[in-house]
Structure 1
Amino acid sequence: MHCSYFDAAACRSCTQMGVPYAEQLAGKQRHCEMLLAPHTELEWLLPVGSQESGFRNKAKMVVGGTAQDPTIGILDADGQGVDLRECGVCSPGLLDCFPVLAGFISQARLTPYDVPQRRGELKHIIITESPDGEVMLRLVLRSEQLLPRIRKHLPSLLAALPQVKVVSVNLHPEHKAVLEGDREILLTEQSTLRMRVNGLDLHLRPQSFFQTNTPMAAALYRQGREWVDELDPASVWDLYCGVGGFALHCAGPGRDVTGIETSREAIVSAKLSSKEAGLERVGFQAGDATAFALGADRSPELVIVNPPRRGIGKELCGWLESSDVQHVVYSSCNAQSLARDLAALPSFTARRARVLDMFPQTMHYEVMVLLERAG
């Protein structure tokens, strides 16, 4: 893949840009095999490759420049805006939105936040596209000052971009390197973006997490479902369940499935998807995964974990070690924390693993491992 921004050194976020894709994928496979080398009984399935460009369904863009001439992209070393509205890893649907959003910023006179000067209002644009081409737009502001202007000009934006179905404002008053704040103000009647994956409708609310590469997310869920159906456990926990992707895919006759996630927004989404699919034996709760496990009076036959980059940690590993859980499906976006967690699970044997390239043009990837209790 060729990128003029990378060649001009305007953006180096994609550290593998210019490396042939087959070489990228092979390198990720080698890296993961090296980190998990102590697990000698591991069977490696073929890695799952992604399309090289246009794969991102979500863009988190910094707004810089001025209201009259905004930039949509990143900040340079001096805190000035660098426009990336033709970024090649973003989906074509996202790219179609950026020029219209730039016009909306100018029309509504939404003053970009100046990081060095600590003044201005509009910090970020977070935009997500569904597999059906519908879009959720979130505007991250420092305060409510611009809300009247946004409400006034929103009809013209929706007329220009009819694919935009959900719009919200996120308030992030603090000056720190965090993408968004805690408070969300919904501006449209529709509150969720429908993400159609493997024939299931997942619902994404403004503050919910979803994988940034929809085809790879679909492959991830299919792999999890395949392993779970093969083992056919009567009870499954999906810890760090997000909007319920694994839990909903792994539901089946005679199987009780419970999803746990800290984000209440994500749990609302997961419950809606479960209700629409008519899955009576699938339940979701908002809470900390480790606290839920430690407080439970019984353990399931199989646990799915899909933690953030830090991994599941010592406490949850310790609980798994002392539990009656027979199998673990571990989906990781950081093979280093995965390797550390597996070393803390000596009672389990890593049986199968698969690399899925969720993040082409970077060093990052997703890896799934199937663990079986030894003996």
Structure 2
Amino acid sequence: MPFSLAMARHRLAVARTVSALRASDGGTADADPSLARSMPERPEGPLIWFHGCEPRFARAIDLLAGPLAARARPLTILLTGLNGDRPAIDAIVQPPPVDALSVVRRFLDHWHPQALVWIGTAPAPILWAEALRRRIPCIALDADPARHALSLVQPLARFDLVLAARPDPRLGSSRVDVASPLSDVPRPPPVYEPDREALATLLATRPVWLASAVPEAEIAAILAAHEEAAKLSHRLLLILEPDDPADGPDLHARLEGLGWRCALRSLDEEPILGTQVYIADQDAETGLWMRLAPITFLGGTLDGIGATASAAYGAAALGSVVLHGGTLGTAAEALGRLHAGGAAWRVGDAAELGRAVERFLAPDRAADMAAAGWAVVTAGAESTDRAIQALAEILDRAAQ
């Protein structure tokens, strides 16, 4: 290989890192995990190594690894990088090896992965070249080789798949696919389809909205908003999902005592024509209600601890308008993205919530907001699906 100043600098930086790590252990032990010493035992069976260059890739790795783990059992996930963050999926977490040949060889000798998935823009040319020499299938995602000297990214030309932010003609026109960033949007909550079909038929002619995961402190505000919205839509049904399903029976009794006509899901009651409030007090049915209601209010955002990102993205992914209050909780980033895409609506109190429900009962307004939500949550989905398909094919070949 011709001399490359960029590669020479890379090797020098790596050598300094190795020296510093050894010095921190007294100069003799080589005990730092980044030097690929003292690694845990490798489980039997196939293993995929995921490396995330930045913490933000943790959720993307969940979306990539989850379907593969469900498809190929047993499958071990080895995870490096992410600067301390980690996805929810079960994985062996290790520091990434220093990009020095002796360290990389120890690491690959120990783990001998069936595939390497490198996510992010930081180059590791020595590691990549050694993995390719061993004929380990390699995939690079959310890459940007064009920002680096060719000598640092040359191995990418031999990767099985490279999805990058922009083209890099130096690697060959067919080697780098320009693609959207990986999706980090959680998959929407599941549904039992027969229940959805039955309730959709029952509610086909009624306007419906959902207040999801509502804490006790917000019940009065939700009812006031429903009363306001129902003035213009007399057949409006509120699906009220308490944040604790065990509160359902007591809530049902209390609301009926206040004059509301209610039905209780846990008693297998149905929302008949006269029902004003349907109390959804069964576990793991949020996906059902979000599919049925064209409007979803995220409980906990008016007078609670906020909502979750999965709730915000789930409603948008299922075609429901997302309404929320000012307390965002862990949904802050998700709601920020939805707002940027014109796919969420903020309210300040019960009166504003009632007016928002009225507003989005108009089918054209709800459809516009739902389309905007779909655009936000599906951005990057194609890249994720392509990577999953490529890894599935690699696992199939390894099993033959």
TM-score normalised to structure 2 length: 0.27
Higher share of residues assigned strand: 1
Higher share of residues assigned helix: 2
TM-score normalised to structure 1 length: 0.28
